[in-house]
Chain A
Amino acid sequence: MSVEEVRKWLENLCTDLMRYDVKVFDEAKNFLCTTASHIYSFTIPLIVKYRNLDHLKRDYHILFSARVFIKVDFRKTLDKEMTSEDIEDLLKCFTYVYSPNEYKEKMIEVGNEIGHALRIAIERVTWRKQLEE
């Protein structure tokens, strides 16, 4: 798979996320950021202690999903479209971590992670609304 295909996928993914309701979007972003920071707060000490960078990649799809949300959030808050620099930033992160033969599998994993976060967010937002009523 080529870098161009990853770029196209990222553009579509961000466009799609731009359409979500702010409350659902925020909830999903917070869920992903919390999960990612939770994982890395105990992975990083192990990596530093054993000087083994291999584990760093293992859960990066979660952290990357969080970055997609962070980038989209920034533009969404400003009520602006994503810029080519935003996409380049995401593309750089993705292609620095994964090799071309991993692209497809990781794109699926990121998609699944984002889908999962959005489903949880919708459940939470609905639940809160019910509580308020």
Chain B
Amino acid sequence: MEVEDVRKWLEDLLRNLMGYDTHVLYEARLHLVGVVADLYTHHIPLAIKYKDMTLLKAHYELLFASYLFDQAYTYKTLKKEIPKDVIGLLVEYFTSVYSPKEYQDKMIKVGNEIENALKEAIEYIAWKKQFKG
């Protein structure tokens, strides 16, 4: 798989995310950043103590997914398209962390994390609406 395939996948993924309601994007991002902060606050001390970089990569798909929500939410709020250079940066982050032979597997994992976060967000919003009566 090539870098251009990653770019194409990201463009499609972000276009799809921008189709969601702002509130859903906000809640999905919030859900992911909580999980990410919990994981990385624990993994970073271990990575530093044992000088082990593999821990940083271990859950990067979650961190990357949270950043995609962050960008989609920001540009949706601004009512703007996601600029090409932002997509370029996202491609760079993804390809800096993963090697070409990992791309496909990680793309699937990021996609799954996004799907789960959206599901959680939609459920949470529905629950909150019911709760408010």
Contact = CB atoms under 8 A, between A and B. Distances in A.
Partners in one complex: yes
B44 A34 contact: no
B29 A38 contact: no
Interface in A27-51: 29-30, 32-34, 36-38, 40-42, 44-49, 51
Given A37-B66, A41-B67, A93 B41 contact: yes
Interface residues of B, number: 33
B14 interface: no
* A: contact size bracket: 20 to 34
A74 to B, nearest CB: 10
B13 interface: no
Name A's interface SS: helix
Interface stretch (A10-18, A53-61, A100-108): A53-61
A48 B40 contact: no
Contact of B53 (A40, A47, A70): A47
Contacts of B96: 45-46, 48-49
A25 interface: no
A34 B30 CA distance: 7
B83 interface: no
Contacts of B57: 44, 48
B58 to A, nearest CB: 11
Contacts of A40: 36, 40, 44, 63
15 contacts: A30-B34, A33-B30, A34-B33, A41-B63, A41-B93, A44-B57, A45-B92, A48-B56, A53-B51, A56-B44, A60-B45, A93-B42, A96-B49, A97-B44, A97-B45
Interface of B: 29-30, 32-34, 36-38, 40-42, 44-49, 51, 53, 56-57, 60, 63-64, 66-67, 70, 89, 92-94, 96-97
